[in-house]
Amino acid sequence: MTHCDMQKLSIIIPAYNEAQTIEETVRRVKAVPLVLEKEIIVVDDGSGDGTREIAGRIPGIVVVLHEENRGKGGAVKSGIRRATGDVILVQDADLEYDPAEYPALVAPIIAGEADVVMGVRIPPERDARRRKSLYWLSWLGNHVITQTTNWLYWHNAREYEACYKVFRRETVQGIDVRTDDFDFDNELICKLLRRGKRIVDVPVRYNPRNYEKGKKIRWHHGFKILWTIVKWRFLPF
């Protein structure tokens, strides 16, 4: 498919216990003006706080239900299987990332310049120093993940852990991602790098929330992510 043939963007929103934010997230996604038609897919990953009921009342979207929690990767995989768009974008449901960034994120794919686009987090200037002091372990872990991936896969991305990942649909078709956890993105990107896909990154604004407000990824996920990066450099797939 050439970039001129692209008509639809499938936006996958994995959600687990996001009753406080899911409606506003979808509202912001709908409000973004795009040259592509939008297909919005909310995957409720076994929520117990009413997320699925709220999502089910929102008109104009597709809701996929998991009866039990499978993990973020499992939710994204369900969304990809349901997607019908020419381009697929993953959007978190927690309002940390602004859908207003979509035009910049899809532009390299529409222009035929990339197969995959990743967001690079740019926190508000006033928060940059505070984040590095309060969340130094997270910052350090992200740095190690980025440098390890770049070194093992001969790439030069500025970050791999931001929410936004955008793919040409045919790019991810046929890629068997084994994990259902937070390392889903890493396994997928590592396999795409090994296949020689064109991957670029685009700066995006980032408004981090803390664990009290529902942030789910924890420090121990970093070790699993690193193992995923290392093993898929060498394992056949």
Residue 168 CA to residue 150 CA, distance in Å, equals 22
pLDDT greater at residue 135 or residue 112 = 112
Q: Band the pLDDT of 68: cuts 50, 70, 90.
A: very high
Range 128-149 average pLDDT? 74
Kind of pairing between the strands at 165-168 and 62-66 = unpaired
Residue 128's CB: how many other CB atoms inside 10 A? 11
pLDDT above 50: residue 87: yes
Is residue 186 within 8 A of residue 145, CB to CB? The reply is yes
The conformational region for residue 67 under phi > 0 = left, psi -120 to 50 = alpha, else beta, is: alpha
- Can you tell me the distance from the alpha carbon of 121 to that of 218, in angstroms, rounded to the nearest whole number? 18
CATH superfamily of 3-234: Spore Coat Polysaccharide Biosynthesis Protein SpsA; Chain A (3.90.550.10)
The 3-class secondary structure across the chain, one letter per residue, is CCHHHCCEEEEEEEECCCCCCHHHHHHHHHHCCCCCEEEEEEEEECCCCCHHHHHHCCCCCEEEEECCCCCHHHHHHHHHHHCCCCEEEECCCCCCECHHHHHHHHHHHHCCCCCEEEEEEECCHHHHHHHHHHCHHHHHHHHHHHHHHHHHHCCCCCCCCCCCEEEEHHHHCCCCCCCCCCCHHHHHHHHHHHCCCCEEEEEEEECCCCHHHCCCCCCCHHHHHHHHHHHHHHCCC
pLDDT digits (tens, 9 = 90+) for 163-219: 999 999 999 988 999 999 999 999 999 999 999 999 999 999 988 765 455 455 556
Query: Could you give the CA distance from residue 123 to residue 149 in angstroms, rounded to a whole number?
Result: 22
pLDDT value of residue 2: 53
Per-residue pLDDT averaged across 38-58, rounded? 98
The domain limits of the chain are: 3-234
Distance CA 120, CA 142 (A): 11
State how far the Cα of 86 lies from the Cα of 10, in Å rounded to an integer: 7
* Average pLDDT of the residues in 136-165: 92
pLDDT of residue 220: 73
Tokens of 9: 């963007």
Q: What was the pLDDT predicted at 219?
A: 60
For 5-38, how does the pLDDT look when each residue is reduced to its tens digit (9 = 90+)?
A: 799 999 999 999 999 999 999 999 999 999 999 9
- What percent of the chain lies above the pLDDT cut of 70? 87
